[in-house]
């Protein structure tokens, strides 16, 4: 699963949906692999407005990537900043979590990731 | 005609094989009326759309929508995601998308090279030809973010989904199957046998399932309980929460699901923006006005 996926996912436990702590899920013992994907600047520019930047900063730091700036770049800044384009492309489009866990900050439930597939099925006592 | 993604690697003993319902979805998305609706709904100047298919099974629909994003949505910056209760479907669908995108990209490259060759012939200018390859390269395919195992759209953030696709278990059945505990995490719970199900040629451990377990996995893909609507009703209940304001859902229904009643219920949903719309946008098995299968598009009218 691409790292970007974490920006769109939350804990599957119903009572966590309204809790701010359930997003983003926190990777734990994550093994990362990198795919070679062609850079598409337009995709990154169009993606910016729908990224939760604070959550992405958290994810990047937790995965050991360089700290992202506090504020997201504007589309113009991003288009003109080759390094920022490359960095975001690497983090969002190329990096995949292949093994590990995703932990909810609200309820503490751990979702396993195996062969790049996260398992969000809940044990019966959490449904 | 856009090519149908290859699913020859999919283990049909435990993953639903593409059938009339899957192909109706492909046909519906290929119609001019649908491609123009989607490109109007998601103009290229608007943020990147996120597409979620719930229950992708073999991945044939998810792969089609991802590989041909530029043709179907009028833009290639479409991100896609599949959530299926069946682990084997998650694995198979991921591979189906990978193959379809690769095929679309190879075709694209071949077309670009043909274009360059033609121009070289006219101008005898190789440098110019190379420049053209870079600049006129039109990407066709979107990007798959992940496939994940889960119950319907439960792991999605509220308001995250722009295009939702659901080919549900719609057949009326006396009982609704439940996923056996050991299949919730087959890699951990069932013995693995070395086999291969991709074209890399390398053998890797794949969980071994029993015949009964496989039957349950297939039943989960078609058995819909009362009126064939028990699973669809749960998904519909989640639609207003997970769909973005501009979001659109495509849900397949069969005649026994009473599609007219379903549409009337959706139109009566409360809305904080534009009112809810539900229209049939594709159908098949048309016999004397009796449509066996249909695709219902659900969206909020622009307020």
What CATH number corresponds to the domain at position A113?
2.20.25.10
Would the CB atoms of B81 and A8 count as touching at under 8 Å?
Answer: yes
CB B9 within 8 A of CB B197: yes
User: What's chain A look like in SS3?
Assistant: CEHHHHHCECCCCHHHCCCHHHCCCEEEEEEEEECCCCCCHHHHHHHHHHCCHHHHHHHHHHCCCCCCCCCCCCHHHHHHCHHHHHHHHHHHHHEEEEEEEEECCCCCCEEEEECCEEECCCCHHHC
Tell me: pLDDT of B162 over 90: yes
**Distance between CA B186 and CA B11 in Å, rounded?**
15
Amino acid B281: pLDDT = 97
Q: Name the closest residue on chain B to residue A3, using Cα atoms.
A: B145
Side-chain half-sphere exposure of A81, counting CA atoms within 13 A: 15
- Burial tier of B301 (Cβ tally within 10 Å: 0-12, 13-18, 19+): exposed
Q: CB A12 to CB B155 under 8 A?
A: yes
Task: Answer whether B149 sits within 8 Å of A47, measured CB to CB.
Answer: no
ipTM: 0.96
Residue B195: the pLDDT is: 58
Tell me the two tokens of residue B174.
């006396």
Give bridge partners of residue B53 from the DSSP assignment. Answer: B82, B165
- Measured between beta carbons, the chain B residues lying within 8 angstroms of A48 are 47
Choose the closest CB to A121 out of B77, B145, B149: B149
Region B89-110: mean pLDDT is 93
Residue in the structure block whose two tokens are 């539900």: B278
* Interchain CB distance below 8 Å, B145 and A120: no
CA distance A110 to A113: 10
Alpha carbon distance B87, B187 (integer Å): 9
In this model, does residue A98 exceed pLDDT 90?
Answer: yes
Q: Nearest CA of chain B to the CA of A124: how many Å?
A: 9
- Residue scoring higher pLDDT (A42 or B81): B81
Mean pLDDT of B46-68: 98
> pLDDT (tens digit, 9 = 90+) per residue, B117-160?
665 555 544 444 444 344 345 678 999 999 999 999 999 999 99
The arithmetic mean of pLDDT across residues B156-168, rounded, is 97
Predicted local confidence at residue B134, as pLDDT: 43
> What are the pLDDT digits (tens) for B228-238?
999 999 999 99
Q: Where are the beta strands (DSSP E) in chain B?
A: 50-54, 79-84, 143-149, 161-166, 192-195, 204-207, 243-254, 276-284, 293-300
Domains of chain B with bracketed CATH: 20-182+208-253 (3.40.50)
Band the pLDDT of B168: cuts 50, 70, 90: very high
Tokens of B165: 């696709």
Answer whether residue B244 shows pLDDT above 90.
Answer: yes
Q: What share of chain B is helix, strand, coil (3-state, %, to 5)?
A: 45, 20, 35
Count the residues in chain A.
Answer: 127
How many angstroms separate the CA atoms of A39 and B280, rounded?
A: 38
Q: Contacts of residue A55 in chain B, CB cutoff 8 Å?
A: none
Packed helices B230-242 and B259-267: angle between N→C axes, nearest 10 degrees: 30
Q: Is the pLDDT of residue A63 over 70?
A: yes
**Beta strands across the sheet bearing A95-103:** A26-34, A95-103, A110-114, A117-118
| Distance between CA atoms of residues B221 and B56, nearest Å | 10
Lowest mean pLDDT among A9-18, A110-119, B24-33, B111-120: B111-120
- pLDDT at B171 (0 to 100): 95
Res. B73: pLDDT tops 50: yes
CB pairs under 8 A between A and B: 104
Mean pLDDT for chain B? 88
> Is the model's pLDDT at B44 over the cut of 60?
yes
Domain assignment of residue A97, given as a range: 3-126
Q: In whole numbers, what is the pLDDT of chain A averaged over residues?
A: 95
Residues 6+ apart with CB under 8 A from B201: none
Decide if pLDDT at B204 tops 90. no
- B77 or B206, greater pLDDT: B77
| pLDDT score of B130 | 43
- Three-state DSSP at B145 gives strand
The alpha-carbon gap from B101 to the nearest alpha carbon of chain A, in Å, equals 12
C-alpha radius of gyration, chain A, whole number: 15
Do the chains contact at A118 and B146, CB–CB below 8 Å? yes
User: Which residue did the predictor score with more confidence, B108 or B255?
Assistant: B255
Mean pLDDT computed over B282-292? 76
Q: Between B211-222 and B87-123, two packed helices, what is the crossing angle to 10 degrees? A: 70
Closest CA to B262 of B219, B223, B295, B222: B295
- Non-local (6+) Cβ contacts of B173 within 8 A are B219, B223, B224, B225, B228
Q: What is the mean pLDDT of residues B296-302?
A: 94
Q: How many CA atoms lie within 13 A of B266 on its CB side?
A: 29
A40 closest CB neighbour out of B77, B90, B94: B77
Q: How far is Cα B241 from Cα A50, in angstroms, rounded to an integer?
A: 17
- For residue B128, what pLDDT is reported? 44
Domain count, chain A: 1
């Amino acid at each position: 699963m691409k790292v970007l996926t974490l920006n769109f996912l939350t804990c599957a436990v119903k009572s966590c949906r309204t809790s701010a702590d359930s997003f983003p899920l926190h990777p734990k013992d994550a093994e990362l692999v990198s795919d070679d994907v062609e850079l598409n600047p337009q995709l990154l520019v169009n993606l910016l407005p729908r990224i939760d930047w604070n959550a992405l900063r958290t994810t990047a730091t937790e995965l050991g990537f360089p700290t992202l700036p506090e504020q997201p770049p504007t589309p113009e800044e991003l288009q003109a900043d080759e390094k920022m384009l490359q960095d975001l492309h690497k983090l969002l489009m190329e990096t995949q979590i292949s093994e590990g866990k995703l932990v909810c900050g609200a309820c503490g439930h751990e979702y396993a990731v195996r062969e790049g597939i996260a398992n969000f099925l809940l044990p019966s006592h959490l449904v | 005609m856009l090519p149908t993604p290859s699913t020859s690697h999919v283990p049909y003993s435990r993953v639903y094989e593409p059938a009339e319902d899957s192909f109706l979805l492909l046909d519906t998305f290929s119609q001019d009326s649908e491609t123009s609706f989607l490109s109007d709904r998601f103009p290229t100047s608007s943020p990147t759309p996120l597409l979620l298919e719930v229950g992708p099974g073999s991945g044939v629909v998810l792969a089609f929508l991802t590989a041909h994003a530029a043709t179907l949505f009028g833009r290639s910056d479409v991100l896609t995601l599949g959530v299926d209760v069946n682990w084997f479907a998650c694995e198979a669908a991921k591979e189906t998308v990978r193959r379809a995108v690769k095929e679309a990209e190879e075709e694209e490259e071949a077309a670009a090279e043909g274009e360059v060759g033609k121009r070289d012939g006219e101008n005898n200018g190789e440098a110019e030809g190379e420049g053209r390859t870079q600049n006129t390269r039109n990407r066709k395919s979107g990007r798959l973010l992940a496939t994940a195992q889960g119950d319907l759209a439960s792991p999605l953030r509220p308001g995250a989904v722009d295009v939702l696709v659901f080919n549900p278990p719609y057949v009326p059945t006396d009982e609704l199957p439940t996923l056996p505990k050991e299949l919730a995490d087959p890699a951990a719970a069932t013995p693995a046998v070395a086999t291969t199900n991709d074209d890399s040629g390398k053998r890797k451990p794949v969980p071994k399932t029993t015949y009964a377990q496989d039957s349950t996995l297939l039943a989960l893909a078609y058995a819909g309980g009362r009126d064939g609507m028990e699973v669809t009703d749960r998904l519909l209940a989640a639609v207003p929460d997970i769909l973005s304001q501009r979001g659109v859902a495509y849900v397949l229904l069969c005649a026994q699901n009473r599609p007219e009643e379903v549409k009337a219920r959706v139109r009566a949903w409360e809305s904080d923006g534009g009112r809810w719309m539900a229209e049939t946008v594709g159908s098949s098995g048309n016999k004397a006005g009796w449509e066996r299968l249909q695709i219902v598009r659900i969206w909020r009218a622009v307020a």
